[in-house]
Amino acid sequence: MSMAVVGMIVGMALGFAGYFGGFGAFLLVAALGAIGFVAGRFLEGDLEPGEFFRTRGDRRDRR
């Protein structure tokens, strides 16, 4: 599935949550979507837990 289609689906889900549930539901859906995105990146191996807890002085090029 292309990223454009995924973005469209996420946008539609946020729109429905905002319309039917109000701003609180919109924020809940957005937060859970972000958590799911990060968890998926961890499971795919694209992120490592240390990337979130690294200090500013420890910037190494990881290419």
User: pLDDT by residue (tens digit) across 29-61?
Assistant: 888 888 888 887 787 877 777 776 766 665 665
Structure tokens at 33: 């979507």
Burial class (CB within 10 angstroms; exposed 0-12, middle 13-18, buried 19+) of 40? exposed
Confidence of residue 6 (pLDDT cuts 50, 70, 90): confident
Q: What is the pLDDT of residue 34?
A: 86
pTM above 0.85, yes or no: no
